């Protein structure tokens, strides 16, 4: 059995994919939680995380793998997220908006709880990380369910981090990666100003070559996890982290 178990949601693309490709462990079993899958060297946990039945599939994977695990470390990095649909709340399709709320606001909490519960009795290092964004504190018109989801995720991390400091062993962190060159950013640049008035800023960042390579973001996230001076419940930004 591997000494390290890693779950990455949204590993099929973008930052999640780069995290898997730049894994710092020689001996790890990796689970890709996504709809698409197809990531070499991983076990695909097929789940639509905008649907609560997908959370149940992830919990089953966690329970099965952790039931008899006595290795050194378990890590769960929640990357799956979406800006779909971009647009003003009163104007976008209600069913698509509902799915965005479930994925961005509810899934991080439900998956975090499932992971911490399944890992509660382990002896090794236990890390739960979710990807956050400057949008957690800055209201971008056209991104309401995204901004609200990231804000909710940050506060969940602060609260549960406090709980773990009081009565637990797990480290719970939120990490903002900066503006990273993924499909999500390409989609932002393609959006009409009517639906996302701040689009010009993101097009300019791209023209100026200011986007971070996903491999760099992934490597920095793994370096953050290798540190032992970060308090559980911390919400941090790679752009300002020393
Ligand atoms: N890129 C940036 O500049 C940036 C900045 C700040 C924060 N972030 C955050 O970083 C994380 C990763 O972003 P990214 O840029 O890598 O995004 P991305 O390239 O669009 O990839 C998104 C990932 O999420 C998965 N996903 C989307 N909807 C899903 C669903 N319903 N069920 C399961 N998985 C789903 C996708 O997999 P499938 O389609 O295969 O399901 C994909 O692997 C997100 O939480 C994002 O908010 C990104």
Segment 63-106, tens digit of pLDDT:
999 999 999 999 999 999 999 999 999 999 999 999 999 999 99
Whether omega before 85 lies within 30 degrees of 0, making that bond cis, reads: yes
Q: Pick the atom of ligand 1 nearest to 9's CA.
A: 34
Best of 7, 8, 9, 10 for a ligand 1 pocket test (most atoms within 8 Å of beta carbon): 10
Q: Which of 50, 2, 8 is nearest to 225 (CA)?
A: 8
CB 14 within 8 A of CB 180: yes
1: pLDDT strictly greater than 80: no
Q: Residue ranges of the domains in the chain?
A: 4-180+214-237
Question: How confident is the model over 133-155, as a mean pLDDT?
Answer: 98
**Ligand 1 pocket member 42 (CB < 6 A):** no
Of all protein residues, the one whose alpha carbon is nearest to atom 20 of ligand 1 is 184
Q: CA Rg, the chain, in Å?
A: 17
**Ligand 1 pocket member 15 (CB < 6 A):** yes
CATH number corresponding to 4-180+214-237: 3.40.50.720
Of all protein residues, the one whose alpha carbon is nearest to atom 14 of ligand 1 is 14
pLDDT-derived band at 4 (thresholds 50, 70, 90) equals very high
For 237, the enclosing helix (H) or strand (E) is strand 235-237
Under DSSP, the state recorded for 85 is: S
Label the pairing between strands 42-46 and 28-34.
Answer: parallel
Phi, psi of 60 (to 5 degrees): -60, -40
CB 94 within 8 A of CB 203: no
């Amino acid at each position: 059995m591997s000494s390290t178990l890693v779950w990455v949601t949204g590993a099929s693309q973008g930052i999640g994919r780069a995290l898997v490709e730049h894994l710092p462990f020689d001996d790890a079993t990796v689970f890709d939680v996504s709809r698409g899958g197809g990531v070499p060297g991983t076990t695909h946990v097929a789940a639509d995380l905008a649907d609560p039945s997908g959370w149940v599939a992830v919990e089953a994977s966690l329970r099965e793998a952790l039931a008899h695990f006595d290795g050194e470390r378990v890590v769960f990095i929640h990357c799956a997220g979406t800006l779909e649909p971009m647009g003003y709340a009163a104007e976008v399709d209600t069913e698509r908006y509902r799915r965005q709320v479930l994925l961005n606001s509810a899934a991080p909490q439900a998956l975090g709880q499932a992971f911490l519960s399944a890992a509660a009795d382990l002896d090794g290092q236990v890390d739960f990380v979710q990807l956050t964004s400057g949008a957690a504190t800055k209201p971008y018109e056209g991104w309401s369910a995204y901004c609200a989801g990231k804000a909710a995720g940050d506060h969940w991390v602060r609260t549960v981090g406090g709980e773990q400091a009081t009565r637990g062993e797990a480290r719970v962190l939120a990490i903002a990666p900066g503006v990273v060159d993924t499909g999500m950013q390409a989609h932002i640049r393609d959006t009409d100003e009517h639906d996302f008035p701040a689009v010009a800023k993101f097009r300019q960042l791209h023209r100026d070559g200011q986007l971070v390579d996903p491999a760099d973001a992934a490597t920095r996230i793994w370096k953050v996890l290798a540190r032992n001076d970060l308090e559980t419940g911390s919400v941090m930004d790679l752009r300002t982290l020393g």
